[in-house]
Amino acid sequence: MDIQSVGVIGAGQMGNGIAHVFALAGYDVVINDISEDNLTAAITRITKNIDRQVSRDKVSQADRDAALARISTTLSLPELGQTDLVIEAATEREEIKVSIFKELVPHLKPETILTSNTSSISITRLASGTDRPEKFMGFHFMNPVPVMQLVELIRGIATDEPTYKALLAVVEKLGKTAASAEDFPAFIVNRILMPMINEAVYTLYEGVGNVSSIDSAMKLGTNHPMGPLELADFIGLDTCLAIMNVLHDGLADTKYRPCPLLTKYVEAGWLGRKTGRGFYDYRGETPVPTR
């Protein structure tokens, strides 16, 4: 299938990044969200990020203008039905994703491929609630999308080969690298990453080290560009907790039990950078550890 137009559901951090890379790669992009303010903010963010690429000579002015001209927005989910590929990038809650697909499916073209940017939820289960499980896949981009090179491609039990090959071709056109994963909780990246972050929170919870020492140890001792607690704040502690719960529920192994301190931070609304506080307090000029 020749994919030319793409619908992106969700104008948040992941959604606007996905729209950004698809527009630069020559696709016509329609972004949908339930909030006009979110759509406006997404266009502002995309423009700012592409302008930064122009200033660094990574994108030409002509390509910048053409990419922005390819992006449109809508509050109407059914309007995405005429696109060739739909990428759902809404909140990481299964009931929300299921309701989105239920509303969208009656308006889709027969050949439209449906995908979810979920970082952990079963693709097979999401696909089974649609009219096209054979044309449904997990299409998991890494954050920040314009910078990160990897895309996880996750086949559900019913996904057919033409759909998989079509998305492989899309990833190649985006200039990124695909990693194929089987449909098990959290796939590859988060199956490995989230337990590491959760263990870092346990290390803090048990008093083995404070925030600064844990992050410094992993940055300087293992050459990670960002410490695990700093990374958790960047991802969002609510997202980290949601993925740990998916791992714990899906695999029934106590090694995936979310740390009580992670749960406590989420209950407090301290979700990381996006709320101004997490394992660090971001309300001043420089981040300050909160423990």
Q: Check the annotation: does 143 bind a ligand.
A: yes
In this structure, how many other beta carbons lie within 10 angstroms of the beta carbon of residue 37?
A: 9
Q: Tell how far CA 290 is from the center of its chain.
A: 26
By the 10 Å C-beta count (0-12 exposed, 13-18 middle, 19+ buried), 62 is classed as exposed
Q: How far lies 67's CA from each of 17, 32, 150, 172, 259, in Å?
A: 13, 17, 21, 18, 43
Q: Check the annotation: does 92 bind a ligand.
A: yes
What is the H or E stretch that residue 101 is in? Answer: helix 94-104
Q: Which of 135, 167, 166 is nearest to 151 (CA)?
A: 167
Q: Check the annotation: does 119 bind a ligand.
A: yes
Q: Check the annotation: does 53 bind a ligand.
A: no
Phi-psi region of 229 (alpha: psi -120 to 50; beta: other; left: phi over 0): alpha
Q: Check the annotation: does 61 bind a ligand.
A: no
Sign of the alpha-carbon dihedral angle for 262, 289, 193, 134: positive
Q: Check the annotation: does 166 bind a ligand.
A: no
Q: Check the annotation: does 60 bind a ligand.
A: no
Q: Check the annotation: does 274 bind a ligand.
A: yes
Q: Check the annotation: does 15 bind a ligand.
A: yes
The set of catalytic residues is 119, 140, 152, 190
Q: Check the annotation: does 255 bind a ligand.
A: no
The token duo for 291 is 């423990």
Q: Which residues are annotated as a binding site?
A: 10-15, 33, 92, 97, 119, 143, 274
Q: Which residues are annotated as a binding site for NAD(+)?
A: 10-15, 33, 92, 97, 119, 143, 274
